[in-house]
Structure 1
């Protein structure tokens, strides 16, 4: 089976037609059609169905296309390695991070890493935490900084406790509740980004019920993007449940206010995730140490009593350790 045919199948399904795929791939339509006939013969089944609206994948075709997309990603990674090598960069470390924690933490992490390790190049991707962990499993990241909703890491994945973070409720300084600084008569108020497709969603709703908000009117979700969320929140029309660690770093830039919430703060610890074999890698260990140091320094600055809440461990966390509550914008 020719791997190029799998890539071509993935492109056909992405573009929605053989015509568009042939233009994108710089192949003639007869050549592409012949390649798909060959692939279907090798697969022993139909890979997609044609209609006047384009092509639609069959279950078998989707499985083959998934492999084609993986091959395309690998080819792109090889091209990036080649480009970096031409510019004298021989090692790259890929970091995935939740958008808010990334906005609060990664600026200092990147600066200090490149000062200490000038031979190292970094790539940083922001995404929703549960997707980042899936991408780590797929080999698309070397380190991930994100909370956890799992009792224990997946096989072959380690997570190192980083910050004993907690959730807070935040709004813009011009919000009607900002002056009183507490959640009162909040049933009819508007909320942003409670992570309606998140594995953290139920715990967030339980938290709101515990502070007197049985029903939250969620009319806007901003997932995987920090600046847009904070800019909208600063306009004073919404409230949001977000990481206290990140927001205490970022709130002054956006004139945000934290609401007082009765009872104990809800834990949502943040971890550094990596593949098990990466624990022995020198570059991964160096960057992990920088992440820990930066987090400790930032915690000590925003709240000295929380400075001890950053973990400096060489061994991964084991068993249940307090899964997080909200992660779509962490």
Structure 2
């Protein structure tokens, strides 16, 4: 098999018409260049140069190989330019994962900043529940993903890299007609005798509610199971019960609902950025991760 490095050296000799001139330009010795050309001729099985006192002349095979060498040079230069475009965020695709509450709160600011700064990078965002995000990460459909966990169910795998972004404490949603609606803050224990609106389908916030209530000594009475936080707010406004929701899920509060910061103890979830350990981040992903850190830091000020 032909050695590409020797082909490129031969192409330079063909371009300059002299072994000595090529050696001088590349800071080699003439004998080193001659040895490499001789090895290339052995690999090719035929002479490529005709040597004479004033330089070299290409054989027919040599001219054909020099033309191929020029094409290789152009392709290598194109590859270097493309890699430089990716490194400089002038090309490429970035695929990230998220989940609904973060997709509606933390993520948009980072997306806007990234697209403004790097419009030539195609950004794709996939939203799913945790199981779907894991599948996309493991299948390399996304480079990294926003995720969450609680104290009792930490994300802990040897094949991933987890970067915490911020804590997302819960808040209480109460009707503006509730007797405690005007408080600046409240505790779960204050609502031990209220009915509760929770999330359906074994949603993690439902477990957070039960654990939080049990921690202060009561079992919550569930009056309604909602399929999203907007539905939960509607039922709160209607007076069916009170609800627990992560702060990041409360970007838009409907009329008739008051939000009360929740005093400890309260089940706080962590917002995380997760990637597979054997999948180093591209320059685009590193840049986007930095924007997410900045956005999260601004929210905690």
The alignment's TM-score, normalised by the length of structure 2, stands at: 0.57
- In structure 2, runs of 5+ residues without a counterpart are 1-89
TM-fit CA distance, 1:103: 0.8
More strand by share: 2
Aligned residue in 2 for 1:191: 197
Counterpart secondary structure, 1:154: coil
The one of 163, 167, 170 aligned to 1:167: 170
Rg (Cα) greater in structure: 2
The number of equivalent residue pairs is 207
Aligned residue in 2 for 1:239: 242
Mapped to 1, the partners of 2:112 and 2:297 lie a distance apart of: 16
Counterpart secondary structure, 1:272: strand
Aligned residue in 2 for 1:257: 258
Aligned residue in 2 for 1:158: 161
Aligned residue in 1 for 2:34: none
2:106·2:296 contact (CA, 8 Å) conserved in 1?
yes
Distance 1:252 1:229, change over 3 A: closer
Counterpart secondary structure, 2:124: strand
Aligned residue in 2 for 1:83: none
TM-fit CA distance, 1:274: 1.4
2:197·2:232 contact (CA, 8 Å) conserved in 1?
no
Aligned residue in 1 for 2:274: 273
- What do residues 255-299 of structure 1 show as CA deviations (whole Å, max 9, x unaligned)? 642335453333211101112244441111111111111121233
Aligned residue in 2 for 1:102: 103
Distance 1:106 1:264, change over 3 A: same
| Correspondence 1:206 to 2:211 | yes
Distance 1:153 1:210, change over 3 A: closer
Distance 1:163 1:185, change over 3 A: closer
TM-fit CA distance, 1:164: 2.1
**Match runs of 1:1-16 below 5 Å:** none
1:176·1:236 contact (CA, 8 Å) conserved in 2?
no
2:146·2:271 contact (CA, 8 Å) conserved in 1?
yes
TM-fit CA distance, 1:179: 3.9
Counterpart secondary structure, 2:142: coil
- What do residues 98-148 of structure 1 show as CA deviations (whole Å, max 9, x unaligned)? 211221112211110101221112222332234423432233322211212
Aligned residues: CA RMSD: 3.2
Aligned residue in 2 for 1:288: 289
- In structure 1, runs of 5+ residues without a counterpart are 1-88, 301-330
TM-fit CA distance, 1:169: 2.3
Counterpart secondary structure, 1:139: coil
Aligned residue in 1 for 2:22: none
Distance 1:97 1:238, change over 3 A: farther
TM-fit CA distance, 1:202: 3.8
**Match runs of 1:111-126 below 5 Å:** 111-126=112-127
Aligned residue in 2 for 1:46: none
TM-fit CA distance, 1:95: 2.3
Aligned residue in 2 for 1:141: 142
TM-fit CA distance, 1:160: 0.5
1:175·1:237 contact (CA, 8 Å) conserved in 2?
no
Counterpart secondary structure, 2:105: helix
